[in-house]
Amino acid sequence: MKNLLIEPHYLGCIEYFCLLRSSKKTVFEIHENFQKQTYKNRTYVLGSNRTVSLNIPLKYSNRTVFKDVKVDYSQRWVKDHWGAIYSSYGKAPFFEFFAQDFKKIWDQKNEFLLDLNIKFMTLCLKLLKLNIEIDFTESYEKDTIGELTDFRNHVHPKIDFSDRNIYRPITYSQLFGNSFVANLSIIDLIMCEGPRADELLSASSWEI
């Protein structure tokens, strides 16, 4: 197990949680300038007809660092995201056990994206029964800090997970479609498999 340097993702994909699970300690990069079209403010869930992208609208400029990026609540994205989750997983085996824990975080309307992402990540780690030491960068350093393994901007929605040796898909029961869809949000695995989620996550993880 290694110490990991990575950015906080929004309801991170299974590949992302494979990385977290494989780390002894995770340090989150919060001082790098925010970049759009990443997993920092988007996630993917499985709808009845297609994979659905959930994106959080934000308030930031080109020089805004991650920790200062604010969530834009002038748009109705909270209702849309919860609606998509309910439509996707309302009939999942473990939805009734976990759904309200997730909804409470959306309902809090955290001002900053960082707080929102960390709260969701903390909840997911708890449900997965993973105990990982976490910390945050105090400034931006281009080169790797200390003994950290640098995975900043490595897990990216525009680059297929098969191009990286982090995640090897292990199929599990999903609600929709005839073919398994890999590397969705961790919420897909949690809602569909509940207590087995960490077992499947472990089987899906390459050693980093």
- What is the C-alpha separation between 30 and 67, in angstroms, rounded? 5
C-alpha 155/C-alpha 165 separation (Å) is 11
What is the pTM for the complete model shown?
0.95
Query: Which pLDDT band, with edges at 50, 70 and 90, does 149 fall under?
Result: very high
What is the percent of the chain where pLDDT is above 70? 98
* CB burial string 51-69: b at 16+ within 10 A, e below: ebebebebebeeeebbbbb
- Do 53 and 95 form a contact (C-beta atoms < 8 A)? no
pLDDT average, residue stretch 189-202: 97
Mean pLDDT, residues 112-131 taken together? 97
Mean pLDDT of 157-185: 95
Cα gap 183→170, rounded to integer Å: 10
pLDDT digits (tens, 9 = 90+) for 80-92: 999 999 999 999 9
Q: Distance (Å, rounded) from C-alpha 151 to C-alpha 166? A: 11
Q: Give pLDDT tens digits for 3-30.
A: 999 999 999 999 999 999 999 899 999 9
| Residues linked to residue 70 through DSSP beta bridges, in sequence order | 59, 112
Q: What is the pLDDT of residue 2?
A: 84
The chain-wide mean pLDDT, for the chain, equals 95
Q: How confident is the model at residue 1 (pLDDT cuts 50, 70, 90)?
A: low
Q: Is the pLDDT of residue 99 over 70?
A: yes
Average pLDDT over residues 150-166: 94
Q: What type of residue is 19?
A: L
CA atoms within 13 Å, Cβ hemisphere of 55: 7
HSE-CB at 186 with a 13 A cutoff on CA atoms is 33
Helix (H) or strand (E) holding 151: none
pLDDT at 122 over 70: yes
Query: Using CA atoms, how far apart are residues 134 and 165, in angstroms rounded to an integer?
Result: 23
The residues, ordered by sequence, that sit 6+ positions from 49 with a Cβ below 8 Å of its Cβ are 176
Tell me: pLDDT of 207 over 70: no
Q: Where are the domains of the chain?
A: 2-203
